[in-house]
Every structure is written in structure tokens, then in C-alpha cells.
Chain A
Amino acid sequence: MKNYTVSDAILVSNYIKGDESSLGMLIERHKQRIYSFIYSKVFDRDVSEDIFQDTFIKVIKTLKSGKYNEEGKFLPWVMRIAHNLVIDHFRKGNRMPKFEENGEFSIFSVISDGDLNAEKKLIKGQVEEDLRMLIQELPEDQKEVLVMRMYRDMSFKEISEKTGVSINTALGRMRYALINLRKVIEKNNIVLTN
């Protein structure tokens, strides 16, 4: 604790009597400690400036209205006001959460409209186009079954009736179609994911 020639209590008393320069001395004396305390809680220079300012506005109002009765404990009193204003600041923040893009967290990663964005739509279109081209490379009988099953949503019974083969043969062609597609995809390192 520093020893000052004029104590805080005297400066406060002089200020209450109308000596404005006493307030300047009190601020000069304690500004670093009060400001550092506020900054250590909020970690934001602008918010710290605001809270520091509001703290002294409260101090001034209390002193000028004659409600101050803590003689000799000026700094702890101011620190308590600052502390309460810091709490108010965080309460206000909880009521009205700010969503800032600071690289760490984005609210839009949690809340989305469920639709694909433009980039994902583009990728989806490309994947589907690539797959169509791969299907064209399949042997005709396998391609026919796969297209009927996957694109026309036909059952294997319907496919067997339409193609004139047994259900088992249709199932086998479908199986080989998928195996062959996988082989081509692996061989050419094709990425078909969104």
C-alpha cells in the first residue's frame, strides 16, 4: 500500500465539499488498479473502458448526493462497485448472447436450416454425375438391373418379370454391378462423398 501525503479520505471529503481536482487525484491514484481489475475479468479493452467509466459515474453520483459513508475505505468501495458492474455486464451478456465469428465457435455450425448450401449442392451434383458415368461402363445386363432397382425403384420381382430372368439372376447381376462399381472406384481413386 502506497503512502500518500494526502489520504483518500481527505480527498473524498474535499471533493464532496466541491473541490473537483480531488477527484482527478483519486482517479490518477487508483485508475491502474481499478482498470486492471476490470480487465482481468472481461479481457476486452473497450468493455473495460465502459465499466471503468460507469464505475466512476456511480462514484460521482453517490459522493455528490451525500450517500457515501465509508470513510477511509475509498478504494475497496470503488472496487466493489466495479465488481458489481462486471457481474452486470456478464448477466447482460447471458440475456443477450452475442454470436461473433471469432474462429473458435460459430453458432451456424449448431443451427442450420437443414438444406444443403450452394457448395454442397454443387458437390452432390458432381458426385451423382460421376456415378452415372461409372454405371455406363458396366456390362449391359448388370447396368440394366442396377438402373431399374436404384433409379426406377423397382422390386427384384418386377425386374425379373421385365427382363425375363429369375429373381436370383437379377439379384446376382445387381451384386456383380456393385462389386464392379467398387472395383472401378478403388482402381481410379474416385471419391464419391459429399
Chain B
Amino acid sequence: MANFYLKPSEKEETKLEPKKSTVDFILNYSKALKVTEYEELQFETLLN
């Protein structure tokens, strides 16, 4: 019974965080995105 209470549940052990591929995508997106301004206009350019 003691073990039942002391053993951390599976849910607690699992850290909820995004996949590495998702984080990599965001970082690559950031590197590729260029925002250029021309007078009062802003242009987004995505360089692949």
C-alpha cells in the first residue's frame, strides 16, 4: 500500500514538452524569416 502512494505515477514521470523536430522547425523558421521595411510597409521574406 505504501508503495502505491510513494511510487510516482506515470503521468508525473513524463515531462510534457514539444518534440525536438517542432523546436528545430521553429528555430529554422526564425533563421529563414526576414522582415524588411520599405517606407511604412513591412515585407516578410522566407528564405529557404
Contacts and interface: CB of A to CB of B under 8 A. Distances in A.
A24 B16 contact: no
Contacts of B15: 32
Interface in A48-93: 48-49, 52-53, 56-57, 60-61, 64-66
B16 A39 contact: yes
A31 interface: yes
Interface in A1-49: 20, 23-24, 27-28, 31-32, 35-36, 39, 48-49
A31 B23 CA distance: 9
Interface in B10-31: 15-19, 22-23, 25-27, 29-31
A31 B18 contact: yes
Given A60-B29, A64-B33, A64-B35, A32 B23 contact: no
Contacts of A48: 18
Main secondary structure of the interface of B (DSSP, over half): mixed
30 contacts: A20-B27, A20-B31, A23-B27, A23-B30, A24-B23, A24-B27, A27-B23, A27-B26, A28-B23, A31-B17, A32-B16, A32-B17, A35-B18, A36-B17, A39-B16, A48-B18, A52-B18, A52-B22, A53-B18, A53-B26, A56-B29, A57-B26, A57-B29, A60-B33, A61-B35, A61-B44, A64-B30, A64-B33, A64-B35, A66-B35
